[in-house]
Chain A
Amino acid sequence: MVQIRRLYTPLVCLCLLIVAGSLSRSAGFDPLTEAQNKRVGFSTRGSARQNPELSPAEAWLAESVLDPEFGGDKGAVRVLYLSNSHSYAVMDLRPGDLTAAQWLQVFTARQVGHGQPPSVVRLPQVPNLSMPECLIKLVAFGEQSSRPGDVLIGGMVMAEWRGIGVRKAVQSLVEIPAVQERLRQLIRANPDLPHATRALSFVDEIAAAVPTDLPLATRIENQLRSWIETKVPLLRMLPLLYGRMTFSFVTLRNRTFAISSDRARPVPEVTYRSSLELLELALRYTRSKGLVSVIYLAPIRPITPNPNLPSDLARFRRDVLATCQRYGVTSVDYTDAIPENLWTNYPDDGSWGYTTPQRDFAHFTGGAHKLMAEQMMKYAGPLLLGRTSGKGDARKP
């Protein structure tokens, strides 16, 4: 009897874990889908073909923008389009809707008619791209596949300047020796940008932590871990369970503090300074590599209440444009470029992570993407076509 009583806790505990494992498997929760505004869509392979304005060749070119690599197009200017989800997500997506980057690819190809496109545009799709992440992505492009004269289009989104974190997926690029070395060089060579270099301090930690030859115990542990994780279903579900917990926290937080999407979100001074210096560091890097930069300020939805504080916005516009001007970089201010009717096709009703319908302040419609691309061609077209060296100034569409 004593033995049975002793075994009560471990046995019931084990049963509960088994039940939790099978429940988590059957729940089929995907935190990414769950946390996403359901009205936001993404241009995928095949969708460009549904656009009646595009020829089959143009549709193919538009779809190639989503490829992860540049491929082997010799002689074409490579255009890296870096920004957060506003650059690749389309609000109330309709068949054939394209992103601004895809339109740019089409427009540049039309400039020279049929045949070899003068530029190849690629759009890495990274949501909530912070400035340190932006710099790492840029250096990875610069060190791996760029040539002098290639172009960086950088979309600056003020909301992303509220943080300077780097996710593991982007951090893994730092493990590429050339990228790591160049980043370390940038940190060492730019002590006048202390906030930027501090934000990148993890690069040195990664450099110190990556051993050339893993010890036997680590190799055994890694193999053991991957073996156990294939055998125990619960362990495979762990990242999703973590996502579930995070999502629950956000929902609970929003309910508790009555947080809505239009609530004012000030940009903290510390992250703002770091992000601005990181932009400067990025421009120094592009200059050193002979890359042409085109920086634009992402559109802000012209309605009130608005999460972006007017004072923050004024400072952001002033500082980014002044920094670009200092480095002779073409900059386009899209802050007020998209009218309200191009932000959504239907009444606002998204409720991701919230309890009541919410407005989306980050993503706009396919029509707005096209408008942005047209403006970009107007002000930076020659740069994208490789017809000028890119001594730029600030433009306001």
Chain B
Amino acid sequence: MTIQSYSYLIALPLVWLIVWAIRTPRPRIVGLLLASYMFYASWGLAFLLVLLVSTTVNYSWGQVLRKRPMAPLLWAGIGFNLAILAVFKYLPSIGSGILGGSSFGRLVGTIVMPVGLSFWTFQALSYLMDIYRGEEEKPSLLEFCLYMAFWPTVLSGPVMRVGELVPQFRSDARPGWEDVTCGLHRLLVGLFMKVVLAQVLAVGLYKGEGVSDGFDKIAGGWGGLDVLLLAVSFGFQLYFDFAGYSNMAIGAARLFGIRLVENFDRSFFSRTPSEFWSRWHMSLSFCIRDYVFMPLASRRRSLWWRNLSLVTSMTIFGLWHAASWPLVAWGLYQGVLLVAHRQVQQLRRRWQFSVPPTIDTLVSWSVTFVLIAVGWVLFRSHDMSQALGMLRALLLPGRYLQLGLRPDFYIIATLVIGLYFVYSGLEWLVTRFRSNGVIYHSIRLLSPAYYAALILLVLIWSKQQSVFVYFQF
């Protein structure tokens, strides 16, 4: 059951009514847990079994760790979770690649990764690490089960920490009108981003267009502009897809009065790589910062070690997505970008180099936008030879005259991306001048047309097939 399926959209209000009718926290947790397990089991009973095993083992290990917070015990817990990741996520791809022909290779090739495994395993890891650091909330088994399986987050995050979620489960406040309207708004906007905008960029309007065909069906011969367009469009596709999904998850949880952490914050307005990573997939990048980078960096005080820790953390971030060289290279590239940004900042401070703020902002934004876009080539490529071929096209000026993609895709991508910036500008203006009576009443008057248009577009595009990029992670 995907969160844009009819089954989900029918089940959601039913569950809401049942949970709303329950006044005390504990039975409400039971209700939410049952709904979460049913939702997860709809992807496969075996997946639920893996989740149950992981939940039970992690909870039990947490109890042990709480009594004796020792590093070897923490490492054993981390080892268990990494083993789950290794067996279900990395072994099939590595095994079928290296041992493809052997019977063992064929066997591991048949292993299917439970959906959302990377996300809920990360939540389990954060639980163990928080216990070790003495920051954890002491959930009951029931609360921990819900924390691991909570259906808005179980498939693709946002990655939550025990301290952020469990206190909300315990609250006896029922969802109010604001929760419901805000939740529905986020759900609808998320659906629109995911089903319409991400889809338009992924497959275009006709056959043979879109990011998917540009990356998947072409084996070489891209022009520089093609690669640039594909890279930028993929960045936006991923943004609409994942930020849309996050909006839907946040909206669904909000309907029940539960607030999830934000995952995206106008990422494409970032002026530095560091800023980008504090606005993109925030829940995971903050976890990587807190659980990988900080412990690593705090081991030595020297600058080179700090930089190495940064690169290592981002490489692990890349590897978290999948065991593939392009993703490792993407993580490494992001790490190098972050280090380079720090060095540039230091040089600017040392030389007291300054330019007018407007030019500074514009140049910083443009450079960051292009550098991050170049990274998407690595992220989306099937293998290193494809990635290098595309990057080579970017570096050869002569190749910019050669256009390989259908002209309509240039128009559509420019239109969608341009409209995103226009919409963001309008949103900023509305937020700024909301207190103005005329603007407030105009928005209120037009809001039904706005929502009706969103629903209609979502319905029209829902007939086209939509695949969520982050399910594979």
Contact = CB atoms under 8 A, between A and B. Distances in A.
Contact of B220 (A15, A195, A249): A195
A253 B406 CA distance: 14
A371 B240 CA distance: 53
Given A165-B208, A220-B7, A270-B222, A235 B459 contact: yes
Contacts of A202: 216-217
B448 A163 contact: no
Contacts of A195: 218-221
Contacts of B456: 17, 20, 241
Contact of B402 (A132, A164, A269): A269
A274 B220 CA distance: 9
A246 B205 contact: yes
B70 to A, nearest CB: 43
A164 B218 CA distance: 9
A217 interface: yes
A16 B452 contact: yes
A217 B43 contact: yes
Contacts of B223: 269
A32 interface: no
B405 A234 contact: no
A221 B213 contact: no
Interface of B: 1, 5-7, 10, 42-44, 177, 205-209, 213, 216-223, 226, 402-406, 408, 411-412, 444, 447-449, 451-452, 455-456, 459-464
Contacts of B452: 13, 16-17, 20
Interface in A212-265: 215-217, 220-221, 224-225, 228, 234-235, 238-239, 241-242, 245-246, 249, 253
A62 interface: no
A303 B226 CA distance: 32
Given A16-B448, A165-B206, A224-B6, A238 B460 contact: yes
B207 A165 contact: yes
Nearest to B448: A12
Nearest to B218: A270
Contact of A221 (B1, B402, B406, B464): B1
Contacts of A241: 456, 460
Interface string A355-372: 000000000000000000
Interface string A103-145: 0000000000000000000000000001010000000000000
A273 B221 contact: yes
Given A13-B455, A217-B1, A221-B6, 10 more contacts: A9-B451, A10-B448, A20-B456, A130-B207, A163-B406, A166-B208, A195-B219, A238-B460, A238-B462, A269-B402
A30 to B, nearest CB: 16
B385 to A, nearest CB: 10
Contacts of A224: 6-7, 10
A221 B5 contact: yes
A301 interface: no
A13 B459 contact: no
Contacts of B206: 163, 165, 246
A217 B44 CA distance: 9
Interface of A: 6, 8-13, 15-17, 20, 130, 132, 162-167, 194-195, 197-199, 201-202, 215-217, 220-221, 224-225, 228, 234-235, 238-239, 241-242, 245-246, 249, 253, 266, 268-271, 273-274
A214 B245 CA distance: 24
B466 to A, nearest CB: 13
Nearest to A193: B219
Given A20-B456, A221-B5, A215 B216 contact: no
Q: Which of B10, B222, B460 has the most CB of A within 10 A?
A: B460
B440 to A, nearest CB: 13
A1 to B, nearest CB: 14
Nearest to A130: B208
Contacts of A228: 6
B6 to A, nearest CB: 5
A250 B205 CA distance: 10
7 contacts: A20-B452, A165-B208, A195-B220, A199-B217, A228-B6, A270-B218, A270-B222
B448 A253 contact: no
B6 A165 contact: no
Nearest to A241: B460
B449 A16 contact: yes
Contacts of A17: 452, 455-456
A242 B404 contact: no
Given A9-B448, A198-B216, A269 B221 contact: yes
Contacts of A15: 448
Contacts of A201: 216-217
Contact of A242 (B7, B44, B451, B464): B464
Q: Which 5 A-B pairs have the closest CB atoms?
A: A165-B208, A165-B207, A12-B448, A217-B42, A270-B404
Contact of B404 (A198, A216, A225, A271): A271
A140 to B, nearest CB: 18
Contacts of A166: 207-208
B463 A238 contact: yes
A98 B220 CA distance: 42
Contacts of B1: 217, 221
Nearest to A198: B219
A268 B43 contact: no
Question: Interface centre among B223, B444, B459, by most A CB within 10 Å?
Answer: B459
A242 B209 contact: no
A132 B448 CA distance: 44
B463 A242 contact: yes
A286 B56 CA distance: 58
A234 B222 contact: no
